[in-house]
Amino acid sequence: MIINHPLLGPRDAAEFVYLGDASLMNRPEWKGEEASDEQTEKTLDAYHDYLYIRENKAGEHKELWYHEQGDRSWLIVTRNTITHGISKVELARDIAVANQAKGESKK
């Protein structure tokens, strides 16, 4: 597989380390110091799902790749898990910054 790095151009996938589903970027909030038992259970459920449950899609899959043998950037690669065809590559940082801005504008 060739990953078309947004900064470095086409690179062999062997230069990268695979982490998994891009939803791993969305870590749930930890509970507050004064959380009730109910809130604690809810938080633990959310963390359980975040850590262990995967959608494991057949088809378009957004996933995190780390360019360890290159510029050490994290990429979000949109890849079809049935054909291995890659349709989109973005810098994870750009997405994270955009998400943060979105979150702040909501507040």
Partner 1 sequence: MRYSALRVIKEALTGHKGWEPVWRSPEPKKHYDVIIVGGGGHGLATAHYLANQYGINNVAVLEKGWIGGGNVGRNTTIIRSNYLLPENEPFYEYSMKLWEGLEQDTNYNSMVSQRGILNLYHSDGQRDAFVRRGNGMLMAGSDAEILDQDGVRELYPFLDFENARFPIKGGLLHKRGGTVRHDAVAWGYARGADSKGVDIIQNCEVTGFDIKDGVCTGVKTTKGDIGANKIAVCVAGSSSRVMAQAGMNLPIESQVLQAFVTEGLKPVLPGVVTFGAGHFYVSQSDKGGLVFGGDLDGYNSYAQRGNLPVVEDVCEGGIAIMPAIGRVKLLRSWGGIMDMSMDGSPFIDRTHIKGLYFNGGWCYGGFKATPASGMCYAHLLATDTPHEFAKGFKLDRFRRGGMIDEKGVGAQPNLH
Beta bridge partners of residue 63, listed in sequence order = 21, 77
- Judged by CB, which is closer to partner 1: 50, or 100? 50
Q: Please name which of 87, 83, 79 lies closest in space to residue 61, comparing C-alpha atoms.
A: 79
Residue number, 57 or 93, with CB nearest to partner 1: 57
How far is residue 12's CA from residue 44's CA, in Å, rounded to a whole number?
38
Select 24 or 101, whichever has its Cβ closest to partner 1: 24
Q: How far is the CB of 76 from partner 1 (least distance, A)?
A: 14
Residue 34 is encoded by which pair of tokens?
């004064």
Positions in the binding site for partner 1 (CB under 8 A): 1, 12-14, 18-21, 44-45, 48-49, 51-58, 61, 63, 79, 81-84
